[in-house]
Amino acid sequence: MKTPTASQRIYEKVFELLEQNPEGLHWSELISKIQKSDKTLHPKTINGYVWKLIEKYPEKVYKPSKGLFRLLKYKK
């Protein structure tokens, strides 16, 4: 069985965290929670993938305000 890539692990955790927090998470909270969940991921790698989150998944995530990430399904 193939080991998930860093990007797969990061995005999987992002969506899990955003699902648990329907009100959304700020950039720093998201980065911190991902780092705590997987110590093998380099902080700059996490930053890079979170930075491109909206660009990569515009059908799933949006930013209601600067630095806040939220699942589109919770948009009012």
**Those residues with Cβ within 8 angstroms of residue 12's Cβ, 6 or more apart along the chain or in another chain:** 4
> Which residue has better confidence, 30 or 2?
30
> Model confidence over 15-53: pLDDT tens digits?
999 999 999 999 999 999 999 999 999 999 999 999 999
Burial of 32 (0-12, 13-18, 19+ CB in 10 A): middle
State residue 59's pLDDT score: 97
State residue 46's pLDDT score: 96
Domains and CATH numbers, the chain: 6-74 (1.10.10.10)
> Model confidence over 48-74: pLDDT tens digits?
999 999 999 999 999 999 999 999 999
